[in-house]
Amino acid sequence: MTDPRLILAIETSCDDTCAALVEGPRVLSNVISSQASFHEEFGGVVPEVASRHHLELINAVVASALERGGAGLVDLDALAVTQGPGLIGALLVGLSTAKALASANRTPLIPVDHLQGHVAANFLEPDPLEPSFLCLIASGGHTLLAGVTGTAGYEPLGQTLDDAAGEAFDKGARLLGLGYPGGPAIQRAAESGDPDAFEFPVAMTREPGLEMSFSGLKTALVYRVRELGPEATAAAAPDLAASYQRAIVDQLVAKLGRALDAGEWRAVALGGGVAANAELRRRTGELCEQRGLALKLVPIELCTDNAAMIASAARYADPIPYPDYLEFDAFASASAATAG
């Protein structure tokens, strides 16, 4: 396997249009154009709207990543692109753009799994983390515990049986009228709230395994909001947000603790948009301190979707030569990643 040094990566799996230039573990540029304001009025991502905006934004985002990184297409050792999982129409915009740009100079292309990208964010500077480590990946579409023993893949140890943790944040924020994306909105509202004010169920903590579940929590909030009515809900929004956030974080931290009991891990890392959550970062810090383990927290802009993490994963995958990549297709659901 070669180690291409200068990689331009593209990521369009959901509602952020992203391109980044990465050299080894160094991020030279990391451009993220969020479409959140377009989706806010719908309280979530509308797939067709996302694809259309990706089409409008992608060329400018790529140009900006190259310019800020100080390189041209001819300088690249490889391009990388998210192949899945994600919204199929959104993924296809990134994939076809990457194919076209790579073909122009017969540059190799590296297709990347989005979840491996979240794991690989930990391999970037500052302070790259070397395997092995236990990684909690919690995003809008996925929530899983990954055993990372190599740079090329991971072993899924347990995952959510229903909603993702980010989805729970987004649905909760919608019920509380706090806006989209829900994670940052709940976190902000929770800052002035009391996490003991309301009791929400912390699912799956009596079950022995590493599976998680967040749909019951959302249902509990639906009932709470219904009982309270619109005025009392608005007045209690900070307390509701703080209590709801605590229930999500409690479950994630309990399962992390259980995974640590079950394996021999020296370090813990977080990945995915929910890893940006201040309460989750704080509580995971406490857990690691209690157990004398190293904790790796990547900067916020490398937690939520970005293309630098895709380039990082691509460093450890085989570049596909022109024209073999032209037949690649995007995939919507998670593929089974292998430990590497």
- Please count the other Cβ atoms lying within 10 Å of the Cβ belonging to residue 266: 12
Both tokens of residue 328? 């690649």
- 18 strand-pairing partners: 11, 32
| Contacts of Zn ion in 144-203 (CB under 5 A) | none
Residue 108 DSSP class: -
**What residue 17 binds from ligand KG4, Zn ion, none (CB within 5 to 8 A, per partner kind)?**
none
To the nearest 10 degrees (0 to 180), the angle between helices 215-235 and 165-175 is 30
Pairing of strands 109-113, 16-23: unpaired
8 A C-beta contact, residue 17 and residue 61:
yes
| Contacts of ligand KG4 in 253-272 (CB under 6 A) | 272
For ligand KG4, the binding residue among 107, 277, 284, 312 (CB under 6 A) is 277
Pairing of strands 143-148, 155-159: antiparallel
Rank residues 31 and 102 by Cβ distance to ligand KG4 and give the closer one: 31
Q: What's the closest the beta carbon of residue 30 comes to Zn ion, in angstroms? A: 14
- Does residue 305 belong to the site contacting Zn ion (CB under 5 A)? yes
Rank residues 139 and 243 by Cβ distance to Zn ion and give the closer one: 139
- Does residue 112 belong to the site contacting ligand KG4 (CB under 6 A)? no
For ligand KG4, the binding residue among 184, 195, 238, 319 (CB under 6 A) is 184
| Contacts of Zn ion in 129-148 (CB under 5 A) | 139
Both tokens of residue 301? 């802009």
Site stretch for ligand KG4 (CB under 6 A), options 75-83, 148-156, 180-188, 316-324: 180-188
8 A C-beta contact, residue 165 and residue 214:
yes
Phi first, then psi: give them for residue 273, nearest 5 degrees.
-55, -35
8 A C-beta contact, residue 337 and residue 315:
no
What's the CA gap between 159 and 147, in Å, rounded?
Answer: 12
- Does residue 179 belong to the site contacting ligand KG4 (CB under 6 A)? no
**What residue 169 binds from ligand KG4, Zn ion, none (CB within 5 to 8 A, per partner kind)?**
ligand KG4
What's the CA gap between 203 and 197, in Å, rounded?
Answer: 18
What's the CA gap between 33 and 340, in Å, rounded?
Answer: 32
**What residue 195 binds from ligand KG4, Zn ion, none (CB within 5 to 8 A, per partner kind)?**
none
Q: What's the closest the beta carbon of residue 170 comes to ligand KG4, in angstroms? A: 5
Site stretch for ligand KG4 (CB under 6 A), options 134-142, 200-208, 215-223, 328-336: 134-142
- Does residue 306 belong to the site contacting Zn ion (CB under 5 A)? no
CA dist 144 to 252, 324, 338, Å?
Answer: 9, 32, 14
Rank residues 242 and 298 by Cβ distance to Zn ion and give the closer one: 298
Q: What's the closest the beta carbon of residue 37 comes to Zn ion, in angstroms? A: 19
- Does residue 163 belong to the site contacting ligand KG4 (CB under 6 A)? no
- Does residue 277 belong to the site contacting Zn ion (CB under 5 A)? no
Q: What's the closest the beta carbon of residue 183 comes to ligand KG4, in angstroms? A: 2
Position 262, amino acid: A
- Does residue 108 belong to the site contacting ligand KG4 (CB under 6 A)? no
8 A C-beta contact, residue 16 and residue 58:
no
Contact residues toward Zn ion (CB under 5 A) are 139, 305
Contact residues toward ligand KG4 (CB under 6 A) are 14, 139-141, 166, 169-170, 181-184, 187, 272-274, 276-277, 304-305
